[in-house]
Chains A and B, each alone.
Chain A
Amino acid sequence: MTGGPLLASTLDLLAFSPPGWGATLLVALSKSIMIAIGAFALGLLIGVGGAYGKLYGSPVTRDLLGIYTTVVRAVPELVLILILYFAFTSSLNNLLLAWGFERVQISGFVAGIVVLGVVQGAYATEVLRGAILSVPSGQIEAARAMGMPPLMLAWRVTFPQMLAAAIPGLANLWLIATKDTALLAVVGYAELTLVTRQAASTTKAFFTFFMAAGVLYLVISILSTILFAKAEAWARRGQVRPGSG
């Protein structure tokens, strides 16, 4: 096996025009990224609500949130995705039927976002809860004493200060979100991993395609790491660095 023809055939396989699979892979990559962004955003929303509920909610709210975070964190993602994928689509349709609406076909895209978002939400709840607790309680009390309404307090005091503590955890969650999109391949959604497998089994070039997909995932993760490091530096602006004061 010489280097020349092997490289040429690899480039042919990954070419952007139709006999090559490059364009198909990139479309699949963009779907993966969009699902990851959607799931991360939904997870953040659930996480903010969950963290506030766990810290300041009624005992029943706390119990329910406790069960949610414990169960999601103890059960494998693949199993959760399967349960939620079935449960979400069928129970939404049952609800719609019960209210006298038509049954809808839920796209794999929306289902993927909701399912991964629910998983992300449980982890985000814990990350944000810890971050909120790291805000000095005196500052919150001072803001309350000055008569700040709760929303303004959250927006002006809690959020900006907890951000620096939350960003490393959130960066981890984002990386998990990008990698968890691969699990949607198992329920049959055509994201990067499944499309890669289809390309590989059509051309029999298994190694080439899986390596190519690996490189794509790696690029996302390296870029994300750089961006999150910048974001953390930004969130920590004005803070005293350990060892400098």
Chain B
Amino acid sequence: MAAVAVLLVIWCATSLNWTWLASEKYHSLILRGIWTTCWLLVVTMVLGMLLAIPLGLAQAAGPWWLAMPARAFCGLVRGTPLLLQLWLLYYGLGSLFPSIPWIRESDLWPILRQAWPYAVLALTLSVAGYEGEVMRGAFKGVPHGQLEAAKAMGMPRFTIFRRIWLPQAIQRVLPTLGGETVLTLKATPLVATITVVDIYAVSSRIRQDTFVVYEPLLLLAVVYMAIAGLIVLLFRWLENRVPQKTA
């Protein structure tokens, strides 16, 4: 494996055109793109998980009038392409907002006129949809006897959730969460189609500037693989920090 990889790297370095990489102009652009991709990923993962917890809980233990909409939401998100969701929010919602006076005149309007809120919203809903389903399984996996014991001891419901249910569900969900983070990273370049300047948009710009086709795309692939590698390492570290078996 190593030998083939080294040969590939040597071939890429020698037979392709990397002269544009020397230009200062592109350095700041590339860094800016990487920064946008990274904060977008972190923000949407955190917000998405915060949404996924109630979604999962509603499906695992909620009354039917909470469980049904939560199920429907997860089904909607998972059944339609993210690109479509992104365009629905940006072009669809974005074209409805100006026609509603109290939104157009509010202080939020300068923000809502930009593309990034729609990118954050679409990615967050997507993460919530996929993670909500995973959280449902994780909540269901917590042994029922523990919940009954806590109830018998007179623990208030929210304390049961915070001290028994949530920690064990999070522990169960950590390995899938790492995978989901990588999948979300791989979904981020779609935001370039609604004019957010992430690392993918930067590489397209370099391609248009220099007429060099493959090299910016290869650079892109390397950047994504590096970030994905970091995520994998981070979650491996996290999994080792969280005590494994409590049941």
Q: Which residues of A contact B (CB under 8 A)?
A: 60, 63-64, 66-67, 71, 74-79, 82-83, 86-87, 175, 179-183, 185-186, 193, 196-197, 200-201, 204, 206-207, 210-211, 213-214, 217-218, 220-222
Q: List 6 A-B contacts (CB under 8 A).
A: A74-B228, A75-B224, A175-B78, A196-B84, A214-B76, A217-B84
What is the chain B residue whose CB lies nearest that of A178?
B81
- Taking a contact as CB atoms under 8 Å apart, the answer to whether A182 and B84 are in contact is yes
- If A79-B221, A217-B80 touch, whether A67 touches B1 (CB-CB below 8 Å) is yes
Q: Is the CB of A214 within 8 A of B84?
A: yes
Q: In the complex, what residues of A have CB within 8 A of residue B224's CB?
A: 74-76, 79
Asked if A78 meets B189 with Cβ closer than 8 Å, knowing A83-B221, A179-B80, A210-B87, the reply is yes
Interface of chain B: mostly helix, strand, loop or mixed: helix
Q: Are A76's CB and B83's CB within 8 A?
A: no
Q: Are A213 and B190 closer than 8 Å at their CB atoms?
A: no
Residue count of chain B within 8 Å CB distance of chain A: 41
Kindly state the separation between the CA atoms of A237 and B187 in the bound complex, as whole angstroms.
38
Select from chain B the residue with minimum beta-carbon distance to A197.
Answer: B87
Query: Counting CB contacts under 8 A, is B93 at the interface?
Result: yes
Taking CB atoms, residues of chain B closer than 8 Å to A179 are: 80-82
Closest to B229 in A: A74
Q: Mark B222-238, 1 if CB is under 8 A from A, else 0.
A: 00110010000000000
- B interface vs A, CB < 8 Å? 1, 3-5, 8, 75-76, 78-85, 87-88, 91-96, 182, 185-190, 193, 200, 213-214, 217-218, 220-221, 224-225, 228
CB distance from B138 to the nearest CB of A (A): 19
A79, closest chain B residue (CB): B220
A185 touches B221 (CB 8 A): no
**B85, B87, B182, B189 — most chain A CB neighbours (10 Å):** B87
Question: Is A207's CB under 8 angstroms from B200's CB?
Answer: no
Cα–Cα distance between A220 and B84 once the two chains are bound (Å) = 15
Asked, given contacts A76-B200, A179-B82, whether A63 binds B92 with beta carbons under 8 Å apart, the answer is: no
Contacts of B190 in A (CB 8 A): 78, 183
